A and B are shown apart, each in its own frame.
Chain A
C-alpha cells in the first residue's frame, strides 16, 4: 500500500509539473508581452517602492534595497498566488465535475507556475544588488531553506481559501481588501525594530512575518541563531497551515463537489 501511495504521489508531482509547464506555455503563447509582464511587474513594484521609501521617506537602513527585496518579493509571491489560486476551482469547476481529477494537481500547478515567475524576478533583482554589496554569494545557498516554508505555507493557505471560494464567491475580493491592509501592517518596507512597543502585538498576530523573516535573514541581516529560530517558527506555522488545509478538505470534500 505504501509503495502504491508513493507511486501515486510521484505521478501527481509529474502531473503538477506538466500542467505548470503547459500553463506557462499557454500564457506565453497568448502574448509575448504577457510573459515579460509577469516578471517585469514585481521588478517595477520594487523599483518604485525602493525609490519612494529610500529617497522620499528616507528610511535609514544599510543596504535598504536588499532589505526591501527580502520582504517585498515574497510578499508579492504570496499575495499574487493566493489571488490567482483562490478562484481556480470555480474556473475549472466543469473539469473537476466531469472527471476524477485530483483538485490539488490543478492548484499545485498554479502555485508552481507563480513560483517560477517569482524565482525569476527575485534572482534577476537580487544578484546585481548582492554583488554590489560586500556580502558573500555563499549565503545564497541558504535561500532554499527560506523558500520551502514560503512555498508550503502559500500552498496551504491557497488550498483553504480556494475551498472557501466555492462556498462564498467573493473570497478573492475580501482577500484583496485584507492584503491592502496587511501590506502596511507587515514589516515589509520598514524593519520590525521600528515598531513602538505598544504596537508589537500586531506583528506577532500577523502570520506573514513568519514566512518573510527567513528571507530577510538570508539576504540582509544574517545571524546564525536568529536564522535558525526564524526557520523553526516558520516551519511550525507552515505545519499548522498544512494540517488546517487537510482538515478543511476532509470536512468540506463532499459539499465541495456538490457546490462546484
Chain B
C-alpha cells in the first residue's frame, strides 16, 4: 500500500479558517442567561466575545489514490477539518472544493431508533448514507452476514453491547465504496478479532475509494493504511509529506502525551 501515484486533484482546500465564539462553551440554560442579563447587563450585552480559531489557514489538496493520514494532539482541529471536508461545517474563510461525493464516519456506536431491531436500524442507516441507492436491501443483507451477529440481528438495537453496535455499523459503512472517504478514529469499539477481520475489508474498501482521509492516534494504523501524512497543530498544517517523516514530526510535537500510543 505504498504507491504514491497521485494524479488528478479531486478535493482542494484553500486557506480554510473556522472560528468559534467561546461564549457558548458553558453548558447553560436560558434561565442562566436571564439571570446574567439581569445581574450584569453591561457585561452581558457589550462584552467582546472571545474567539477561538479551530482552523487557522489550512491549505492542501487530495488527489486520486491518496490516503492521507491526519495526526495531531487532542484539540488541534482534526475533527473540525474533517467536518468541513464532509460539508457538515462551513468555513468562515477559505474554501473546500470538490465535485465528488464525500462520505464521513466519526463514530460507530450509534443507532438511529434504539427500540427497533439491529436489522431495521441497519436498513434505516443505509437509506441515510447511501442516498438514492437502489441496492440498499442487498447491501444490508451482505453487511449483516459480515457482522456475524446471527440471531441478535433481530433483537432491539438498544440491547446490543457497544462492540456489537460498532460491528454492525462498521460492516454497513464499509459495504459500498465512496469517492472520498473520511474516517475519524473509527476503529475503536470493536474487539480484536473482529478488528482484524474488519481491517482487511477496510483496506480493500479504502483502496476502492477515490481518496481517503484517515484520522487516528495510532501511528501503527497510519503506517498500515496511509501513503501521505499531515500533522495539524493549533489549527495549522505543521507538516505535510511522507508517512515516516510525518510520524516523526508528530512525535516531536509533544513527546509526553504520546508515550502510551
Contacts and interface: CB of A to CB of B under 8 A. Distances in A.
Interface of A: 7-8, 11, 14-15, 18-19, 22-23, 25-26, 29-30, 92, 94-95, 97-101, 105, 167-171, 173-174, 250, 253-255, 257-259
A169 B30 CA distance: 8
B112 A105 contact: no
B28 A168 contact: yes
Given A26-B116, A167-B24, A258-B20, A253 B89 contact: yes
Contacts of B106: 97-99
A25 B117 CA distance: 12
Contacts, number: 87
Interface of B: 18, 20-21, 24, 27-33, 54, 80, 83, 86-90, 92, 102-113, 115-116, 120, 124-125, 127-129, 131-132
Contacts of B20: 254-255, 258
A245 B8 CA distance: 39
A105 B112 CA distance: 12
B108 A169 contact: no
Interface centre among A15, A99, A259 (most CB of B within 10 A): A99
Q: Give me the 9 closest cross-chain CB pairs, A-B, nearest first.
A: A170-B29, A98-B107, A94-B110, A254-B89, A168-B30, A26-B115, A11-B131, A100-B86, A98-B106
A100 B127 contact: no
B124 A19 contact: yes
A22 B111 CA distance: 13
Contacts of A171: 30
A257 B107 contact: no
A101 B128 contact: yes
Given A168-B29, A170-B29, A254-B90, A99 B129 contact: yes
Contacts of B104: 99-100
B109 A94 contact: yes
A223 B46 CA distance: 51
Given A169-B27, A255-B24, A100 B110 contact: no
